[in-house]
Homo-oligomer: A and B are copies of this chain.
Amino acid sequence: MYPALKKQFEDLIQLTDTEFEYISSHYQVKRFKKHAIILHPGEIVNYEYFVLKGLIKTFMVDNEGKEHIWQFAMEDWWVSDYYAFQTRELSSFTIQCLEDVELLRISYTDRDKLCREMHSMERFSRLKITSGFFSQQKRIMALLQNDAQSRYKQLLDQYPSLFQRVPKALIAAYLGVTRETLSRLRIE
């Protein structure tokens, strides 16, 4: 069951079939339509999500009304407002579907329980968040040292499929430039 989920675990830790069965029994499938909002700002974040199919954006709207993309997530990506999820505070992000989406979700309680019960789940969580840490490190260094042009190229060749699936305005909101600036980049 859930081979994509199984692969996630197997790539980082070793699990017996029984152990995986036990873990995966805490996940449930959810489906959402394009445009549906999975998480609203100001809510308690009860779930962490794993994308089986489709595409999602996590974003925040600043006090001038501008949208800033925190993360895109497609197949095999994990999504949540992790800060709010972990601290039990209210979410500051919106999570919304850019396509029809099929997800697995696990509740905070179950996840916490699994981490306490199983060293290997704790380890899996550590390694996953560590790789998230690294992507963010990379993104920060890119924001500090590269101009919009090379951040665009970098994103483009790391995730070429994103550009078939996501409007350019959202790419701009991810890179931290306006859509107009992004549009002018390619020519110059």
Residues of A within 8 A of B (CB): 60, 62, 66, 68, 70, 82-83, 86, 115, 119, 122-123, 125-126, 129-130, 132-134, 136-137, 139-141, 143-145, 176
Contact = CB atoms under 8 A, between A and B. Distances in A.
Report the copy number of this chain in the oligomer: 2
B140 A140 contact: yes
B139 A140 contact: yes
A145 B173 CA distance: 10
A176 B145 CA distance: 8
Contact of A68 (B70, B122, B129, B144): B144
Given A126-B129, A133-B133, A141 B70 contact: yes
Contacts of A126: 115, 122, 125-126, 129
Contacts of A70: 137, 140-141
A176 B142 CA distance: 10
A83 B141 contact: no
A83 B137 contact: yes
Q: Which of A134, A137, A176 gathers the greatest number of chain B CB atoms within 10 Å?
A: A137
Contacts of A115: 123, 126
Contact of A145 (B68, B86, B141, B144): B68
Given A122-B123, A144-B176, 8 more contacts: A82-B130, A82-B137, A83-B137, A115-B126, A119-B119, A132-B133, A133-B133, A136-B140
A82 B140 contact: no
Contacts of A123: 115, 122
Nearest to A139: B140
